Amino acid sequence: MSVRQVVTDFVALGALPDSEASEEKIAEHQLCLTRIKRPVTDEEAALLVTCFGPDDCYGLAWTLLHLIETAPGGIPVREAPAESDNEWVKRLWARSHRT
């Protein structure tokens, strides 16, 4: 299955900025992220998991996390993240492996 253009556009923006970024940069990510309709494909989820930034970016990281969780094949993180991995990837992993 192919990746939708709206997902490609979001990924092209790069990782979510931190909360100290300009309002314009944050708004650009927000607008693009909110255009992605659920559910995402497994391929799209694999791309989106690379877009987490260093903090929650005023809640955009939570929106991204919940969007990734809609993939039919589950989260695209197949191995436990390393200690040095992004905090949001670790959070995604932990949420998917709760007992």
In this prediction, residue 98 carries a pLDDT of 83
Distance CA 16, CA 83 (A): 20
Give residues with Cβ within 8 angstroms of 10, minimum separation 6: 29, 32, 33, 35, 36, 48, 51
Q: Which helix (H) or strand (E) holds 63?
A: helix 60-68
The answer for residues whose C-beta is within 8 angstroms of residue 46's C-beta and 6 or more apart is 76
**Residue 35 identity:** R
Quote the CA–CA distance of 11 and 91 in Å, as a whole number: 20
pLDDT at 99: 46
- What are the per-10-residue average pLDDT scores of the chain (99 residues)? 93 97 98 98 98 97 98 93 95 87
